Amino acid sequence: MVYNLFVYHINEDDARKCTAKKLARFGLVKIIKNERMLPKNAILLNPMSKKAISREDAIIKNIVAVDCSWKNADEFFLSFNHEMYERALPYLIPANPVNYGKPFKLSTAEALASTLYIFGEINKAEEILSKFKWGLHFLELNKMPLEDYRKAENSNQVIKAMKEYIEV
């Protein structure tokens, strides 16, 4: 299945470390700077969402990540008005140099790749992460949880699988 990847870019982070801009240079994502241009029938990756991303969401072809500073993420998502389906990514460990080892603090590239992996698009996830020196290490680091999340049929099963990793 082909997914359209969008990044709502707010220009809050160091442009040299921006994974979204690098993915855009390779034609893997479309950067959007005006929120009115975001697709309405889309999944919005929101770390504050009460529902976890799962295979049941794979029927939605548009995936939107927000590229903003983690320092401002809570405030942004609380005030962001949209008509998309909000989903949170489950417990994963970042491999990016900025937030290495800090659970849940994924880069935009890691978030999009994780979503694709959970949807069964493993090759596309690898393609995205292969653009970064540390990218494929992210898949190695999270191999077991990603596989469990990919096999889960719905959000409740993803949450159940996630609890096994958090409680370990």
27-72 pLDDT, tens digit each: 999 999 988 899 989 999 999 899 999 999 999 999 999 987 767 7
Q: Is the pLDDT of residue 123 over 60?
A: yes
Q: Counting beta carbons within 10 angstroms of the beta carbon of residue 12, is it exposed (0 to 12), middle (13 to 18) or buried (19 or more)?
A: middle
Q: Is the pLDDT of residue 81 over 90?
A: no
Check: pTM over 0.85? Answer yes or no.
yes
Residue 153 pLDDT = 96
Residue 18 pLDDT = 87
Q: Is the pLDDT of residue 76 over 90?
A: no
Looking at every residue in the chain, the average pLDDT score rounds to: 92
Residues 6 or more apart whose Cβ sits within 8 Å of residue 13:
67, 68, 69
Query: Starting at the edge strand that comes first in sequence, how are the strands of the sheet with 4-9 ordered?
Result: 30-32, 4-9, 62-67, 42-45, 85-87
Domains, the chain, ordered by start: 4-166 (3.40.1280)
